[in-house]
Each structure stands twice: as structure tokens, then as C-alpha cells.
Chains A and B, each alone.
Chain A
Amino acid sequence: MTDWIATFKRGLSIENPLTILMIGLCATLAVSTKFEGAFFMGLAVIFVLTMSSMIISALRRVIPEQVRIPIFIVVIASFVTIVDLTMHAFLPPVYNFLGVWIPLIVVNCVILGRAEAFAYHNSVSLAVADGLGMGTGYSFVIIVLATFREFVGSGEIVFMNQRIVALPPSYQGPGIVLLFPGAFIIFGFMIAGARWVTERQGRRVVETSKHCTIEEGRAL
């Protein structure tokens, strides 16, 4: 159980896929202009990551090493298509906003990276912990980024057609926050923040990421 919790927590902090491992950034920067989009993107990633990690880990003994990547991709693509169809059916506004980024989860490095680096080598329960942890870590960062960008850039936060927070209409946000350069700058600050927090907790990023760099290096 302690292993389980430790694995789960790694995805949130010292091996956060976005601020530490820095994989799967393209979709993150693209969809983080709206809180709502980021929220559902996060949910989609948690679902796909957890389910595919679970299946791959359960089948790890029967998947021959030389064809593992095609099998991983079939499993991941199936779950992504399930998410895609379900969102299209039940959440059309979100589906329209996320657009091509939903099918692109298939090639998101976070998912394939975790399948290769973790799920293929660990037990089902640990793989689920890793999937949930990585997914939650991903969602947390993307939601914080999107909340900031939507609030500063457009002066309001809209969720399911409800205005949650709104500045007076006279507020004219700096447009750059919503564009890609702004995303990079803000994300840079978030990485700095994450480093500061991990170092303050006394866990040296260099030490702890030792084993993950080797694994990630192979995965990507």
C-alpha cells in the first residue's frame, strides 16, 4: 500500500509529466486557453492513461517484446477513440473546442511513455497508481495553466456555460496570454515554481529523477 501511494504521488510531484518530465507539452499549450477545455482534457488523459496502463500491465507477460509498441498503440488508440466518441455524443461544446487534440492523445508521449517505462514492467495495481498519479499530475498542471490564461486573457472563467468568475467588461486582457508565446512564458514560470517547491521539500530533483531519466530516455 505504501508503494502504491508513493507511486501515485510521484506523478504529482517529483515525476510530474509536465513540469518535470516535460512530455506531452504540445497539446497542453494548445488546449490550456480555457478552463473547461483543460478540465475535460485532464479527465480524458486520466482515463486513457489509467485504462491503458492497466491493460498493458495485465498483459505484460503475454506481449512479446518485439511487437509491444504496436500493441500499446492499438490499446491506447482504442481508449482514445472511446473517449472521442463519448465526448462527441455527450459534450459537443467541449468536443468542438478540443477538436483534433482528443484523437492526438494517441500520440501524446505521456501515455506511450508510461506504458513503455512503467506499465510494461510493473504489477497491475502499481500501473494503475502510476496512471492515476501521472494523469492527476497532468490535469493539475494543465488546469492551473488554463485557469490563469483564461482569467487573465479574457477576464472571465466559463464552465459548462456558467460564468464562475468575471471581471468587469471594461477589462481588456493582454492577448498574448492566450497565444502560444504567452503559454510558453507562463509555463516557464510554472516549471520554475515546481522546481522551487521540490527543492524546498528537500528532495533533490536530480537524485530522484535518476531512474526515470534512464527509463524515459528509452521510451522516447
Chain B
Amino acid sequence: MDRAPSTPTSMVLSVLVTCVVASAALTFTYEMTRERIAEQERVAREKALKDVLPAATEFTAVDANVLSAAEEAAGDTQVAAVFDAGESGWGILVAPRGYGGPMSMVVGVDRNGKVTGVKIITQNETPGLGSKVMTEPEFLPQFEAWDASEIEKAAKAFDAISGATKSSNGVRKGVLAAGHVYADVLSGEGGGSKQ
């Protein structure tokens, strides 16, 4: 069969044209799905916040100053957002590193500095091993009632899942970071203004 000859011009041109057409198709798909994806992520986040702080009715993002102070308090762990849930406390979105990259999770802390719950929104841990941090029934509840103002002390009694040590430690790091955010920033900040 006669094919286009592999001359430098034909090779450069064909790759170039393919890439341009492909990027156009992808831009179009991206634009079509962008809003829905953002919406889905918002719904997932809201649901996770609701799970860790069931009594809260409204979540408002804290202002930029508090967020940057929170980022500082958390150290290496990335803080994606902090939500003020009024009387119920705060929902802290952290992204600690697990085994397969950052995991996105919400830590709820109430006004007295007790951890109310931990919920993982997305993770890329090894299916069947690291992903057990989401499914193991006794893993995530163990963080409940940890004292966020003395988080390092609370974190000493911690059970990792065997076979998922790195993933478990990732989750623990996220809770630790949230504890530091509470102790260094939120306990002085929002508590006063709300009462």
C-alpha cells in the first residue's frame, strides 16, 4: 500500500496537525465538562463536611489571612481550605501525602478542640491495600475525640492498618496538621468572634 513518505517535512507536519486537532478536541471536552466536574467536587466536599460535622447547617470559607496562617501551622502538609461551621466547629481540608500521592480529606474539629470525624474525599492509594484506609471500619473512627489542642500527645496511640502503613501514616499526618491548625490558629481566632 502506498503510504506517505517519511520525509522530515511530512513527519513534522503530520505530528503537528495531529497534536493541534487533538488539543482542539480536548479543549472542547474540557470546556464541556468543567462546570459539572467542579460541581461534583463541590458536592463531594460538602457531603464530607456534613459527615464530619453533622449538626452544622452552613459552611463558610475562612478569609485569606486565616488560611495562610493555617497553612503555616500545618507545616509540610498542604491545607486546601478551612470552613467555619458556626457553633459546630470547623472543617479543615488537608491534603497529606500517602503512598500514591496526596489524599484529599476533611477533618472536623469542634469548638472545644475535639476531632469530630475524619473523611477521605479522594485518594490514589493501592487498591486493596492502601485503599483500606477508606474501608476499614475501625480505622477512621479512631481519630474521633482526639484532642486537637494536644494533638501530638493524642497521636501517640495510633493503630495503622497492616499492609497500609504509609497510607495510614498519611491520614495520621493529615489529622496532625489539622490539629496544629486548630491549636495555633483557630482556637484563638474564630472562638472569640463567634461568642
Task: Give chain A's interface residues, CB within 8 Å of chain B.
Answer: 30, 33, 60-67, 70-71, 74-75, 77-78, 81-82, 85-86, 88-90, 92, 96, 99-100, 121, 178-180
Contact = CB atoms under 8 A, between A and B. Distances in A.
12 contacts: A61-B3, A64-B14, A67-B14, A74-B22, A78-B22, A85-B32, A85-B33, A86-B29, A86-B33, A88-B33, A92-B40, A179-B128
Interface in B1-44: 1-7, 10-11, 14-15, 18-19, 22, 25-26, 29-30, 32-33, 36-37, 40, 44
B128 to A, nearest CB: 6
Nearest to A63: B14
A71 B26 contact: no
Nearest to A178: B128
A75 B4 contact: no
Contacts of B44: 92
A64 B36 contact: no
A179 B129 CA distance: 9
A65 B29 contact: no
Interface in B121-159: 122, 124, 127-128
Contact of B6 (A61, A66, A89, A121): A66
A67 B127 CA distance: 36
A176 B29 CA distance: 40
Contacts of B36: 89-90
B6 A67 contact: yes
Contacts of A81: 26, 29
Contacts of B124: 99-100
Contacts of A67: 6, 11, 14-15
A84 to B, nearest CB: 9
Given A66-B11, A78-B26, A100-B124, A88 B6 contact: no
A75 B40 contact: no
B15 A70 contact: yes
> Which 7 interchain pairs have the tightest Cβ spacing?
A89-B36, A89-B33, A66-B6, A64-B6, A78-B22, A85-B33, A67-B11
Contacts of B33: 85-86, 88-89
Contact of A33 (B6, B14, B29, B128): B128
Given A75-B22, A86-B33, A61 B1 contact: yes
A75 B36 CA distance: 25
A180 B127 CA distance: 10
B127 A71 contact: no
Contacts of B6: 64-67
B2 A99 contact: no
A126 B128 CA distance: 39
Contacts of B32: 85
Contacts of A96: 122
Residue with the highest number of chain A CB atoms closer than 10 Å, among B1, B44, B127? B127
A51 to B, nearest CB: 11
Nearest to A31: B127
A85 B29 contact: yes
A90 B62 CA distance: 30
A71 B3 CA distance: 15
Contacts of B25: 78, 82
Given A61-B1, A86-B33, A92-B40, A75 B18 contact: yes
Contacts of B5: 64
A88 B14 CA distance: 31
Contacts of B11: 64, 66-67
Given A33-B128, A99-B124, A64 B3 contact: yes
A184 B109 CA distance: 44
